[in-house]
Amino acid sequence: MKEDGRCGELLVMFLAGLTIGTAAGLLLAPHSGSYTRRQIRNLAEDVTEQASHLASEAKDAVENVVEKGKRIVT
């Protein structure tokens, strides 16, 4: 069980690094301000979508663990 938590932590750290690296690349790229802001907005929307998906998966995993725990106890 502990290994699953570690895998989730690594995934979150990877996604955070990817997001920060992409944002830094966009900010340092030689594009106009409006283009860069649009790219950052799109990136933020993608990250929000991914976070929502991960939260949904985490909720499902917790529900499964709770259900298994109930079956073991009864």
32 or 65, which is more confident: 65
Domain that residue 65 falls in? 2-73
CA distance 8 to 60: 14
pLDDT reading at 57 higher than 80: yes
Write down the pTM of the prediction. Answer: 0.51
pLDDT reading at 1 higher than 70: no
CA distance 9 to 7: 5
* Predicted local confidence at residue 5, as pLDDT: 60
Q: How many domains does the chain have?
A: 1
Letter string b/e over residues 28-41, b meaning 16 or more CB atoms within 10 A of that residue's CB:
eeeeeeeebeebee
